[in-house]
Amino acid sequence: MTPEFVVEFAKEAITLTIYLSLPMLGLGLAVGLMVSVFQAVTQVQEMTLTFVPKILAVFLGLLFAAPWMLEKSPPSRFM
SS3 sequence of 19-43: HHHHHHHHHHHHHHHHHHHHHHHHC
User: Does 34 fall in a domain?
Assistant: yes
CA separation for the pair 31, 38 (Å, rounded): 10
47 within some domain: yes
> Does residue 8 lie within any of the structural domains?
no
Report yes or no on 65 lying in a domain.
yes
Rg (CA), the chain: 18
Task: Give 26-43 pLDDT, tens digit per residue.
Answer: 999 999 999 999 999 998
pTM: 0.75
pLDDT tens readout for residues 55-67: 999 999 999 999 9
How many degrees, rounded to 5, is the angle at CA 68 between CA 67 and CA 72? 115
In a domain, 13, yes or no: no
Q: How many domains does the chain have?
A: 1
Q: Domain for residue 15, yes or no?
A: no
